[in-house]
Amino acid sequence: MRTDFVAREVATGLRRNVTMTAAMVLTTAISLLMVGTGLLAVKTIDATESIYSDRLEIRVALTQDVSTADAECTQPICAGLRSTLENSPLVAGVTYENQQEAYQRFQELFAGQSVAELARPQSLPATLRVKLVDQDGSTEAGAAAVKQAMANQVGVRTVIDQRDVVAKLFDFLGGVRNVTFALALVQAVAALLLISNTVQVSAYTRRTEVGVMRLVGATRWYTQLPFLVEAVITGVVGAVLAGAGLLVGKIAFIDSLLAGIAQNGVIPPVTLADVLTVSVYLVPIGAVIAGITGYVTLRLYVKV
């Protein structure tokens, strides 16, 4: 194998089709950028879900009379409910938040707003805050058991499942991820067609060379290799550009967009390590996709 010869042929090919090569690199870069964005979205959504699954709890709000009368949850109704919950194998722990504690939290949440001044401790219910046991990544069974056990019990006003609120957010994030992947897929198809087209054009512009190579007895592998290397190089360059795009996107947009909520721990931050990891994955993805497309094109459409 004459690597110097193959390298020279590849350089000639890339130079000759410079506009096609640029189009191929850019399309590959954009589709891989979308794939990368999708991967980062998946990573962020997964991390967010795990943050919330640790925090989410079921809140059993008690009726006004029980809330007012029992500040320590020692009287029969509240203690009974508490022990029912604690005896369930699906419950990890129960804490009692009395009216005074609920009031303090309310003041923290709505600090500076008029609603904070209007609220009184007596108007807020005491709650039993139930943490659930995670079974195979889900707290579904625990939530159902708690809701069933607390339904129509004396002293229970309502049962609030925080997961219901967050489920909508996760649905939205999942939608974003799916849309990103769908766009990436469409873009990837465009990139594949463009790579295929460029390989064909490249082979056509060098048909005399290819013809001579075949006639003098160059092997099929030797004849195809320059075209394949060209495709792989554009795939890799596209992937590197996509990685750079992700980095720029992180610094220019994501960081400022998520600054507040990431600091408050609402969602996990997109770290430099995340971006670099995804970028590293994109390089072999770009190379393999471009290489396979080039190979299939040469087999199907080009007599080399």
Cβ(236)–Cβ(282) below 8 Å: no
> According to CB under 8 A, which one of 111, 118, 151, 215 is a site residue for other proteins?
215
> Contact between 222 and other proteins (CB under 8 A)?
yes
Restricted to residues 61-120, the positions that interact with other proteins (CB under 8 A) are none
Residue 201 is a binding residue for other proteins (CB under 8 A): no
Amino acid identity of 101? Answer: E
Dist CA 255 CA 263 (whole Å): 11
Q: Which among 46-54, 93-101, 131-139, 203-211 is the span making contact with other proteins, rule CB under 8 A?
A: 203-211
Nearer to other proteins, 4 or 108 (CB): 4
| Site size for other proteins (CB under 8 A) | 19
Q: Are 243 and 283 in contact (CB under 8 A)?
A: yes
Q: Could you give the angle at the alpha carbon of 53 between the alpha carbons of 47 and 56, nearest 5°?
A: 135
Of 138 and 219, the one with the shorter C-beta distance to other proteins is 219
Which span sits near other proteins by CB under 8 A: 188-196, 216-224, 246-254, 280-288? 216-224
Residue 211 interacts with other proteins (CB under 8 A)?
Answer: yes
Torsion of CA 194, 195, 199, 200, to 10 degrees: -30
Residue selected from 213, 233, 282, 289 as contacting other proteins according to rule CB under 8 A = 213
> How many CB atoms within 10 Å of residue 243?
23
Shortest separation between residue 14's beta carbon and other proteins, angstroms: 14
Determine, following the binding rule CB under 8 A, whether residue 12 of this chain makes contact with other proteins: yes
* Cβ atoms within 10 Å, residue 224: 21
Which one, 224 or 234, has the nearer CB to other proteins?
224
> Does residue number 1 form part of the binding site for other proteins (CB under 8 A)?
yes
Q: Is 218 in the site for other proteins (CB under 8 A)?
A: yes
Q: Which of 59, 129, 147, 214 binds other proteins (CB under 8 A)?
A: 214
- What's the angle, vertex CA 155, arms to CA 149 and CA 157, rounded to 5? 80
By CB under 8 A, tell whether 212 contacts other proteins: yes
Query: How far apart are the C-alpha atoms of 34 and 42, rounded to whole Å?
Result: 12
Q: Which structure tokens are listed for 214?
A: 């075949």
Residues 6+ apart with CB under 8 A from 268: 44, 47, 48, 51, 262
Q: Which residues bind other proteins (CB under 8 A)?
A: 1-2, 4-5, 12, 208-209, 211-220, 222-223
